[in-house]
Amino acid sequence: MTKRYFSSIALAFGLLVGSVSALANEGGAELPTAGTNVSDKASLQRGAKLFFNYCVGCHSLKYVRYSRMASDLGLSEDEVMNNLNFTGAKFGEPVISHMPAESAKSWFGKDPPDLSLEARAKGVDWIYNYLNSFYLDPTRPVGWNNTVFPNASMPNPLWELQGIQVAVHSEATPGHDASIEKLELSQPGRMTPEQFRGATRDLTTFLEYAAEPAALERQSIGVWVLLFLAGFTFLAYLLKHEYWKDVH
């Protein structure tokens, strides 16, 4: 019975690891890690600034309210409403894009997705690498493509910061078509490549927070819960020892 119990645990753990690995490797080789840290409020604030300046025109965060974001990120109501709210929404309302639905469909063929749960669905490594992997592609309707998400219908929203990347293809060989070997920066942006990677890491961190705003509070409470359980376990041990000391 015990052997069957541990075998079930091992099987469940193996399935969990396998599913996580499959998600990380979706579409190809394992992606470089994003290195995000949702406990870093400075990174969250920078990521929020990037999102509201470059992303909210098309994408919503319908499960995140301006008021909750202000509280979690250490921002005042005035800072949020004056610097991050470009839609005229009230402080207690969720973050909704102001792009008309008919415009989105005419430009992109469909409504841009809500990004509230994007980090939960795709993973932070996928988002980070996606933001760094746009390149010019004249064959695409919007003129851009992406090595992480081929044939993406979205243009590069951060091209002014990153610059313009082009794909370097390998030579075609018998039985093998030419493939993309790497991306090269053909026109510099306002940031150096290192600065841009830091910016996309901040944006990814903010989207990770948006997918689970309670994570910040949960992590801080978790420490106290573990300390309580440790103390309770110690007291329970002393009680057991006292209760059974005269029983032989």
Rounded to the nearest 5°, which phi and psi values hold at 182? -165, 170
Average pLDDT over residues 144-153: 93
Look at residue 220 and tell me whether its pLDDT is greater than 70.
Answer: yes
Task: For the chain, list the domains and their CATH numbers.
Answer: 23-241 (1.10.760.10)
- pLDDT band with cut points at 50, 70 and 90 for residue 164: very high
Known binding residue 55? Answer is yes
Local structure of 136: helix, strand or coil: strand
Of the ranges 21-30, 111-120, 188-197, 216-225, the best mean pLDDT one: 188-197
Q: What is the DSSP letter of 172?
A: P
Mean residue pLDDT across the chain: 84
- pLDDT band with cut points at 50, 70 and 90 for residue 242: confident
Q: pLDDT by residue (tens digit) across 122-133?
A: 999 999 999 999
Known binding residue 59? Answer is yes
Q: What is the DSSP letter of 34?
A: -
Other Cβ atoms closer than 10 A to 77: 13
